Amino acid sequence: MPPTLRDVAQRAGVSTKTASRVVNHQGEVSDETRARVQAAIRELGYRPSKLARGLVTHRTDTIGLVLGDICNPFFPEVARGVLDNAEQTGYNVFVCNSDGNLAKETRTLHSLADHAVDGIILFPSLEIEDFLLSFAAQGRPVVCVNRPFESPWISRVMMRSRDGARQATEHLINKGHKKIGMLNGQAKPATRHERVRGYLEALGANGLPECADWIISGPPVLEQGRRAAHELLMQHPEITAIFAYNDLLALGAIQACADLGRRVPEDCAVIGFDDIPLADRVSPTLTTVRVDKYALGQLCMQRMCEMLSSPETLFPPVEIGVELIVRESA
């Protein structure tokens, strides 16, 4: 029973269309009429229904944010960047976890489309999605992070992951490490990912051997880091350093080292990626590759707004830099 535009119109003695004009700041209304309508709006506490409006305008002032897992400390700051920017620009945000699971991600995206979101910001799983393309083909902006989609409707925001991975690996090499393992955080095609590439590049550029067995893939969570590092160090005791896809895996690796009586960094150096909060508080403090997560989130939302306000326009990919942060663990 919230008041409708009709209520406002009646009270102000005008047509609903005129009331609508006032609400939407469309001109063509005399000052006096506008004042009357505005008074009615105030008195009734009228607020336009986004549903009804969306039904006719095809704009709902909502967007979807699909990320891997909000519990991964990488994401809250990203989300915060998106959310803050969205609040300022008048958008509300559906937040969803995909868990890097394609089926779930697909369901989620459909569900967002059902709600007629204006656009989607996505940290995608690896595989290309038919649905995404068809969503984008409807003229709905998609901002896609860290995955090189080739579609004019999909805008890309890319972290310099390969650079970061390369720097990290080279840092290990400079420290004298020659057998360097990697904990990958992606399920599927290991060697395709940028961070794996950077790692391999660094090895190659420095004439070091690479070994497929030294890369273990799994979900990017702490417990997996522990398991995988445990396995890695048991099967390949010669390894003296580990580069991890993200900080959680690195933290897990550090734990595995503790389990195995290996000291970090003396017996096994560990380096992560993301520079999550508290990375400088854990023991040993974590050497990692910093990403400005908040800025990343803001950037995504900003790009989303640009796409929304100028359709047809093609936006070039944005790259965002990373920075090696050397602490105790390597």
Partner DNA sequence: TAAATTCCCGTCAACGCTGTCGTAAACGCT
Partner DNA sequence: AGCGTTTACGACAGCGTTGACGGGAATTTA
Interface contacts to DNA, rule CB under 7 A: 4-6, 13-18, 20-21, 23-24, 26-30, 32-34, 46-49, 52-53, 55-57
Please choose which of DNA, its own copies, none residue 144 contacts, taking the beta carbon within 5 to 8 angstroms, the exact cut-off set by kind.
Answer: none
Judged by phi (left if over 0) then psi (alpha if -120 to 50, else beta), residue 45 lies in: left
Spatial CB neighbours of 316, under 8 Å, sequence gap ≥ 6: none
**φ, ψ at 286 (rounded to 5°):** -95, 125
DSSP 8-state assignment for residue 213 = G
Q: Which of 110, 188, 192, 263 binds its own copies (CB under 8 A)?
A: 110
Smallest distance, DNA to C-beta of residue 26, A: 7
Nearest alpha-carbon partner for 197 in 252, 141, 131, 148: 148
Nearer to DNA, 38 or 101 (CB): 38
Binding string, 138-167, against its own copies, x = CB under 8 A?
A: x-----------------------------
Please choose which of its own copies, DNA, none residue 15 contacts, taking the beta carbon within 5 to 8 angstroms, the exact cut-off set by kind.
Answer: DNA
Please choose which of its own copies, DNA, none residue 259 contacts, taking the beta carbon within 5 to 8 angstroms, the exact cut-off set by kind.
Answer: none
User: Got the DSSP string for 114-135?
Assistant: HTT-SEEEE---SS--HHHHHH
Smallest distance, its own copies to C-beta of residue 54, A: 5
Smallest distance, DNA to C-beta of residue 15, A: 3
Nearer to DNA, 28 or 266 (CB): 28
Q: Which of 31, 114, 266, 312 binds its own copies (CB under 8 A)?
A: 114
Nearer to DNA, 59 or 263 (CB): 59
Smallest distance, its own copies to C-beta of residue 163, A: 26
The span of 33-41, 83-91, 121-129, 207-215 binding its own copies (CB under 8 A) equals 83-91
How many other β-carbons are positioned within 10 Å of the β-carbon of residue 237? Answer: 12
How many residues belong to the site for its own copies (CB under 8 A)? 47
Nearest alpha-carbon partner for 110 in 93, 142, 135: 135
Give helix 31-44 / helix 5-12 axis angle, nearest 10°: 130
**φ, ψ at 262 (rounded to 5°):** -95, 135
Q: Which of 66, 112, 269, 324 binds its own copies (CB under 8 A)?
A: 112
Residue labelled with tokens 């040993």? 284
Smallest distance, its own copies to C-beta of residue 95, A: 4
Burial 240-268 (b: 16+ CB within 10 A, else e): bbbbbbbbbbbbbbbbbbeeeebebbeeb
**What token pair was written down for 281?**
């508080």
Q: Are 123 and 69 in contact (CB under 8 A)?
A: no
Q: Which of 251, 268, 304, 307 binds its own copies (CB under 8 A)?
A: 251
Per CB under 8 A, does 79 bind its own copies? yes
Binding string, 276-295, against its own copies, x = CB under 8 A?
A: -xx--xxx------------
Binding string, 21-60, against its own copies, x = CB under 8 A?
A: --------------------------xxxxxx-xx----x
**φ, ψ at 241 (rounded to 5°):** -155, 150
Residue labelled with tokens 């972290």? 159
- What number of CA atoms fall less than 13 Å from residue 249's CA on the CB side? 25
**What token pair was written down for 24?**
């939407």
Per CB under 8 A, does 115 bind its own copies? yes
Q: Please give the residue ranges that form the binding site for its own copies (CB under 8 A).
A: 1-2, 47-52, 54-55, 60-62, 69-71, 73, 75-77, 79-80, 83-84, 87, 92-97, 104, 108, 110-116, 138, 251, 277-278, 281-283
